[in-house]
A and B are shown apart, each in its own frame.
Chain A
Amino acid sequence: MITLNVNNKNYEVDVDPNMPLLWAIRDVIGLTGTKYGCGVAQCGACTVHLDSEAVRSCVTRVSRAEGQKITTIEGLSENNDHPLQIAWNELSVPQCGYCHSGQLMSAAVLLRENPNPTDEDIDDAMAGNICRCGTYLRIRKAIHLAANMQKNGNTKG
């Protein structure tokens, strides 16, 4: 049995410690907001926070996550009110929506470490996340919007 702490809740999972965290989260724990996109750390759809870092859960073994704080898209905020989530909604960023769990989890690390990101900072943070629908321009705009909201204290952030 391995204990995984996901979104501040402990789960006892009986899995191969080499199983990628992605499948443990989706198939065993049953939180399906984290997506499978490529399985080889190329697309970022599976991004979760492991002790606050935006790791690719498709190549991160369960054994690495044991004893650490895992946050998935379901735990990014309590009421879908992280500044990024609000901005994503206000700019109608998603199309099919499949990649956006990962996009948001990546953007959240950027915004935490750099509350006023430039376009270049956004490039440096977000080029690991693929969006096949091509919502990139809106992602960029939404990150700027979220940064402004955070700065102006419009949300609890």
Chain B
Amino acid sequence: MIQGLKNKTTSRRNFLRSAGLTSTALFLGMYLPAGAKTSKVVNLGDDVDEDGIEMNPWVIIDTNGRVTLVSHRAEMGQGVYQSIPQIIAEELEVNLKDVHIKFAQGNGKKYGSQITGGSSTIRGSYKNLLKLSATARVMLIQAAANKWKVPLTECYAEAGNVFHKPSGKKYNYGELVTDASKLHVPDNVKLKERSEYKLIGKPLLRKDAALKTNGTAGFGLDKRVPGMLFACVERNPRLRGKVKSFDDSDARAIPGVKDVFKVTMKVFNTDREGVAVVATSTWAALQGRKALKVFWDDSGFEHINSTDIYQRHEDILKNKDGLVFKEQGDVNSIFSQASDKLDVIYQTPYESHAAMEPLNCVAYYQNDKIEIWGPIQAPDWVQDFISKEFNLPAEKVIVNMTFLGGGFGRKAFLDYPHEATLISKQIGVPVQVVWTREDDIMQGPFRPGMSYRCEGVVNNGKIDAFRMKLAGQNMDNFQSDDRSKPNESSSEGFLKPYFDSIKNISIQDVPFETPVPVMWWRSVYASTNGFAYESFMDELALAAGADPIEFRKQHLNNDRLHKQLDKLIEVSGWKNRKKNEGYGMAITECFESPVAQVVKVSKNPDGGIKVDHVWAVMDCGWYVNPDIIKAQVEGSIIMALGAATIHEITFKDGLPEQHNFYDYHMPRITDIPPIDVFVMDNDADAGGVGEPGLPAFSPALTNAIFDLTGKRIRKLPFSLAEI
């Protein structure tokens, strides 16, 4: 995008103006020189050769002392809006309230990966952000020292000012940025020790809460562009069928309906056909869609039933070997000699993401340029994809991120911006495409339903052999034709130190496909793997006659995990369990953060099971804001509670059987047990936060139910009321 000084200067000025900043500024960014391992801070006011470099977050300080961070990641509830300013304010030595966030546009070349996924917002960028902010601080102090003609060591920065200690003189940052911007950017500035932090590690309040309590936070669906029309699309309900024909005469008669036409968007490597109704309001578009008659050609693909899916899983798990993901020792010979072998199947359902903000996107196709606004988790991917599909250079595709009303993985896909762009191109004006709740729940892609065959032998209180075979749709298959490789994620969620203690182990993926499109859902494979692995671990502990937590500790030879489990024992009262209380535990890891949980259950006097309490211990290493972490773990547990006990997507004759919240129920305030979250303190690198709290919940719950009732639940979802 930036080619040479002139263009760059212009674009910088435009940027500053659009961000509400004065046009002179200290303008620092990060870049990773081609071939280099560590990133460097660069003064974007300099004429730098940017060939082959990837720019990371930008920090801008203008002559008013206003600090702006250009966030290359989306805010979808995970708290980047608060946690990133907290990092910057710390090392830059400014007041938190003076740090403002502006969401970057999609530009993979400039920012590197922008996908808000894999719980990567902080762990993927905090080191750069610290370095960037500390570098800016050092440059500002240097500028002040130069002005005063005093030694650097006599100066220090605090709350957006540089002070000269002996004289008490001060400059605020705004007065220094012009000079600082002319300085050489120092390498390797010293970062603060954790013990010196004043902001990082503190449970500070979220900056975006104000916007989210008075209606001013702008979500995708709130985006308005002059001349914008609204569209709804009747897409094939079996997801893979074609439009045979359609009758739009009644639809066009609805007041406000402007046009009706066929639209075909890409969903990974498949085409999704539908008929778009474009109108002057969402309501008119919805009415038009209702009046539309579409005739579908649903031939050429299987119309799947859920019962068949799980039956087939069981058949192939029993009768077929899988592609080997991990194999060590000799599982087969131990199994063949063992007198007591556990051999069970665990199953988990398909799920919709069902973020509260249904999918939507505004696109404006102009002949030489496309602009997109929406709740988008991966703006750089959208830019790349749209530029290829519409044959425009990447810099002519502008992708703007709004606040996301939840994402959970779904808003990282490219289909809905693609469809919006196609519709805008057809009608020639900006269009907001609104997905109804039904579209959002029924159109996928879904979290795939999985089945796991777990086999194990215990000897002398230890796991002698362990085999896990999974059958379920591989999310990668929708983006790749390669069917020779096992699912790389088949052990996601499972703690790696188990591989050291279990000498004989085999993890296999038995390939299975259906026409149902599948994709990431919060915590991805760990969200289902965790249930199988950690429920089975409980069964093995029982077979070994061991306490479930002690059994884990025996098999996890790792100090950090032991500390985490000891913390869990302490906070949950694990050792003081009373009669008529069921306690279950589980520990899983995803995105570099292990999370251990204990769930306590009891019998409900009115029948069924009551979840009394949940304790979670999160170890995400270095962290910014413990309150945001707790909120993320609370939310993850509640999302897991829903998927374990309340909702699932099933298919009949190729059609999803759930439609809206009346048959795809969500947990409500009445369903929520008390949850206590504890965050471990250690010096490990930062791990993920947004997703790792999810996978351990469902096995901890079903393990607790087993503890109370002796009933082992191996299929999700199940009804708490019906146990």
A and B touch in the complex (CB under 8 A): yes
Provided the pairs A27-B230, A72-B215 are in contact, do residues A95 and B78 lie with their beta carbons within 8 angstroms?
A: yes
Q: Once the chains are docked, how many angstroms separate the CA of A51 from the CA of B206?
A: 32
| B211-233 interface code vs A (CB 8 A; 1 in, 0 out) | 11111111101101000001000
Decide: A92 and B627 in contact? CB cutoff 8 A: yes
Provided the pairs A42-B662, A95-B635 are in contact, do residues A73 and B403 lie with their beta carbons within 8 angstroms?
A: no
Provided the pairs A33-B215, A94-B208 are in contact, do residues A26 and B631 lie with their beta carbons within 8 angstroms?
A: no
Decide: B209 and A134 in contact? CB cutoff 8 A: no
Q: Taking the nearest CB of chain B, how far is it from the CB of A146, in angstroms?
A: 11
Residue of B nearest to A88 (CB): B213
**A16 in the interface, Cβ–Cβ < 8 Å?**
yes
Residue of B nearest to A43 (CB): B661
Contacts of A140 in B (CB 8 A): 669
Please provide the chain A residues from 42 to 85 with a CB less than 8 Å away from any CB of chain B in the complex: 42-43, 45, 72-74, 76-77, 80, 84-85
Q: Taking the nearest CB of chain B, how far is it from the CB of A131, in angstroms?
A: 7
Contacts of A153 in B (CB 8 A): none
Contacts of B627 in A (CB 8 A): 92
Q: Taking the nearest CB of chain A, how far is it from the CB of B252, in angstroms?
A: 16
Q: Once the chains are docked, how many angstroms separate the CA of A130 from the CA of B660?
A: 12
> Interface residues of B toward A: which range?
35 or more
Contacts of B648 in A (CB 8 A): none
Residue of A nearest to B211 (CB): A97
**B357 in the interface, Cβ–Cβ < 8 Å?**
yes
Contacts of B695 in A (CB 8 A): none
| A108-144 interface code vs B (CB 8 A; 1 in, 0 out) | 0000000000000011001111111111111110000
Most chain B CB neighbours (cut-off 10 Å) among A76, A98, A123:
A98
Q: Once the chains are docked, how many angstroms separate the CA of A73 from the CA of B212?
A: 10
Decide: A42 and B660 in contact? CB cutoff 8 A: yes
Residue of B nearest to A100 (CB): B212
Decide: A132 and B639 in contact? CB cutoff 8 A: yes
**B53 in the interface, Cβ–Cβ < 8 Å?**
no
Decide: B669 and A43 in contact? CB cutoff 8 A: no
Partner of A36, one of B212, B224, B282: B282
Q: Taking the nearest CB of chain A, how far is it from the CB of B454, in angstroms?
A: 29
Decide: A137 and B675 in contact? CB cutoff 8 A: yes
Please provide the chain B residues from 498 to 516 with a CB less than 8 Å away from any CB of chain A in the complex: none
Decide: B635 and A135 in contact? CB cutoff 8 A: yes
Provided the pairs A73-B214, A80-B214, A92-B205 are in contact, do residues A26 and B637 lie with their beta carbons within 8 angstroms?
A: no
| B528-557 interface code vs A (CB 8 A; 1 in, 0 out) | 000000000000000000000000000000
Q: Taking the nearest CB of chain A, how far is it from the CB of B143, in angstroms?
A: 36
Decide: B674 and A137 in contact? CB cutoff 8 A: yes
Partner of A92, one of B281, B282, B631: B631
Contacts of A74 in B (CB 8 A): 214-216
Decide: A96 and B406 in contact? CB cutoff 8 A: yes
Decide: B406 and A136 in contact? CB cutoff 8 A: no
Interface residues on chain A, number (Cβ under 8 Å): 62
Decide: A96 and B77 in contact? CB cutoff 8 A: yes
Please provide the chain B residues from 421 to 442 with a CB less than 8 Å away from any CB of chain A in the complex: 434, 436-437
Decide: A137 and B634 in contact? CB cutoff 8 A: yes
Q: Taking the nearest CB of chain B, how far is it from the CB of A24, in angstroms?
A: 8
Decide: A97 and B403 in contact? CB cutoff 8 A: yes
Contacts of B79 in A (CB 8 A): 95
Contacts of A104 in B (CB 8 A): 213
Q: Once the chains are docked, how many angstroms separate the CA of A12 from the CA of B227?
A: 20
Contacts of A88 in B (CB 8 A): 209, 213
Q: Taking the nearest CB of chain A, how far is it from the CB of B522, in angstroms?
A: 10
Decide: A132 and B406 in contact? CB cutoff 8 A: yes
Q: Taking the nearest CB of chain A, how far is it from the CB of B721, in angstroms?
A: 16
Contacts of B672 in A (CB 8 A): 134, 136-137
Provided the pairs A16-B255, A37-B358, A132-B355 are in contact, do residues A97 and B217 lie with their beta carbons within 8 angstroms?
A: yes
Contacts of B407 in A (CB 8 A): 96
Provided the pairs A35-B221, A136-B638, A139-B669 are in contact, do residues A101 and B215 lie with their beta carbons within 8 angstroms?
A: yes
Decide: B356 and A96 in contact? CB cutoff 8 A: yes
Contacts of A72 in B (CB 8 A): 215
**A93 in the interface, Cβ–Cβ < 8 Å?**
yes
Partner of A96, one of B221, B355, B662, B674: B355
**B667 in the interface, Cβ–Cβ < 8 Å?**
yes
**B404 in the interface, Cβ–Cβ < 8 Å?**
yes
Decide: A98 and B405 in contact? CB cutoff 8 A: yes
Partner of A97, one of B82, B208, B666: B208
**A99 in the interface, Cβ–Cβ < 8 Å?**
yes
Q: Once the chains are docked, how many angstroms separate the CA of A150 from the CA of B431?
A: 44
Contacts of B78 in A (CB 8 A): 95
**B295 in the interface, Cβ–Cβ < 8 Å?**
no
**B518 in the interface, Cβ–Cβ < 8 Å?**
no
Decide: A94 and B634 in contact? CB cutoff 8 A: no
Decide: B205 and A27 in contact? CB cutoff 8 A: no
Q: Once the chains are docked, how many angstroms separate the CA of A42 from the CA of B667?
A: 12
Q: Taking the nearest CB of chain A, how far is it from the CB of B651, in angstroms?
A: 22
Partner of B283, one of A23, A32, A96, A133: A23
Q: Once the chains are docked, how many angstroms separate the CA of A76 from the CA of B434?
A: 27
Decide: B661 and A134 in contact? CB cutoff 8 A: no
Given A28-B281, A74-B214, A104-B213, 8 new contacts (CB under 8 A)? A23-B283, A35-B219, A37-B357, A73-B214, A76-B214, A136-B667, A137-B674, A138-B634
Q: Give A contacts to B, CB under 8 Å.
A: 15-16, 19-20, 23-24, 26-28, 30-40, 42-43, 45, 72-74, 76-77, 80, 84-85, 88-90, 92-101, 104, 122-123, 126-140
Q: Give B contacts to A, CB under 8 Å.
A: 76-79, 82, 205-206, 208-219, 221-222, 224, 230, 255, 281-283, 354-358, 403-408, 434, 436-437, 627-628, 631-632, 634-639, 660-662, 666-670, 672, 674-675
Task: Give the top 10 A-B pairs by smallest Cβ distance, nearest first.
Answer: A33-B215, A134-B638, A98-B405, A97-B212, A96-B77, A95-B77, A134-B635, A32-B222, A42-B661, A23-B283
